[in-house]
Amino acid sequence: MPHKVSINRLKLADFRNYASAALAFDGRHVVLTGDNGAGKTNLMEAVSLLSPGRGLRRAPYGDVTRVGAASGFAIFAELDGMAGEVEIGTGVETADEAAVRRLRINGTAAKTADELTDHLRVLWLTPAMDGLFTGGSSDRRRFLDRLVLSLDPAHGRRASDFERAMRSRNRLLAEGRFDPAWLSGIEAQMASLGIAMALARAEMLGLLARLIDESREATPFPTATLELSGFLDGTLDRPAVDLEDDYVALLREGRYRDAAAGRTLEGPHRADLLVRHRDKGMEAERCSTGEQKALLVGLVLAHARLVGNLTGHAPVLLLDEIAAHLDEGRRAALFDLIDALGGQAFMTGTDQSMFSALGARAQFFTVAHGGVSTDP
């Protein structure tokens, strides 16, 4: 069983609809119930900001700060983390109309948000992700990169550095500056970063597919087959140096085409995640809405299990409206799977009775009018 990472205290100031809030947890799962718009997802979003990035909504920091607040927002958490007990404080300060995020760990300013992954890994599933299989490839890439990031914290830095290098190349091409030395240097950098990104994605999917295959009989949810497409298809089993040479050649040969298109047409930024319903042999986008949701739930739970197996620490799960549209039997099976992961999960819903199968395994809170109360 992976070590349990749990959030013990959470305090908010000027966050979304909360002027202030303070919650104490005892290590069990957390169930937040209340009317739509009460602020349940806002609490989940605050927890998601204990990981690198902009959280589960990917909202601009200015939109997260409570309307009417004098400055920015603040989040404080105490947890039993991967490296022991730790205090994490993060928030945004507004100066000269610019929102700047700050992060302190045990009272010391962190150099980068990547330091958060030394203490916990946070995974989430929200209703906004229900259209993952039918939406654009950019949504699936973002989802895929979040999966990789939870296992390889350096992946996010590689992706941002690749984007920066690609923008530089695009700018040179748009200005008609085909200086071979400049372009070759940038393209070599893009190849190094881009192939590292592609290989990290492929490795994670391979590990996840193997785990899904080994545990497919133990889940009531349909299992998925996973495949990468759109960049060096079928060749990623070759040495990295050969792949980098191939990508450099593609970039060099495509300079004039990319200049005409106004963007780089070959690279990991064009990759897509292909998902199929294994038992039906059907593409996920052709499955029913219910089947797509079940596939996604199964995929997220499998990945959470993979994170626990590989890091030795169960991730914190944020499951927004997770029990909606599930019958009583499947809800009970879902809660058993979540509990078996060995971590702490935060779940939301409008009706507390939907979570009755959790019993004493969870703490229950009612959210209403910007406040949170503990249920007996």
- Residue 52 scores a pLDDT above 70: yes
Q: Which of 188, 149, 154 is nearest to 169 (CA)?
A: 188
**Token pair in block for residue 117:** 């992954």
Residue 114 has a pLDDT of 92
Tens digit of each residue's pLDDT (9 = 90 or more) over 168-190? 999 999 999 999 999 999 999 99
So what's the pLDDT on residue 335? 96
Nearest to 3 by CA among 80, 65, 101: 80
In the prediction, which pLDDT does 62 show?
A: 83
**So what's the pLDDT on residue 205?**
96
96 — pLDDT class (breaks 50, 70, 90): low
pTM here? 0.93
pLDDT at position 95, please? Answer: 64
The answer, yes or no, to whether residue 327 has pLDDT greater than 80, is: yes
CA separation for the pair 118, 344 (Å, rounded): 17
pLDDT bracket for residue 326 (50, 70, 90):
confident
Distance set, CA 207 to CA 39, 200, 236, 239, 310 (Å): 36, 11, 15, 19, 10
Average pLDDT over residues 26-49: 96
SS3 state at 109: strand
pLDDT at 266: 97
Confidence of residue 97 (pLDDT cuts 50, 70, 90): low
The percentage of residues in the chain with a pLDDT greater than 70, rounded to a whole number, is 99
Distance CA 34, CA 28 (A): 19
Distances (CA, A) of 208 to 303, 370, 375: 6, 39, 37
Q: What is the pLDDT of residues 128-180, one digit of tens each?
A: 999 999 999 999 999 999 999 999 999 999 999 999 999 999 999 999 999 99
Going by their DSSP bridges, the two strands 3-4 and 6-15 should be labelled as unpaired
The CA-based dihedral angle spanning residues 334, 335, 340, 342, taken in that order and rounded to the nearest 10 degrees: 130
Residues 275-322: pLDDT tens digits?
Answer: 999 999 999 999 999 899 999 999 999 999 999 999 999 999 999 999
Give 63's Cβ-side CA count (13 Å radius).
8
Tell me if 275 sits within 8 A of 226, measured CB to CB. Answer: yes
User: Where does the pLDDT of residue 9 fall: very low under 50, low under 70, confident under 90, or very high at 90 and above?
Assistant: very high
Percent over 90 (pLDDT), the chain: 87
Q: What is the CATH number of domain 1-132+312-376?
A: 3.40.50.300
What per-residue confidence (pLDDT) applies to 225?
95
Give residue limits of the domains in the chain: 1-132+312-376
- The predicted-structure confidence for 246-257, as pLDDT tens digits, reads as follows 999 999 999 999
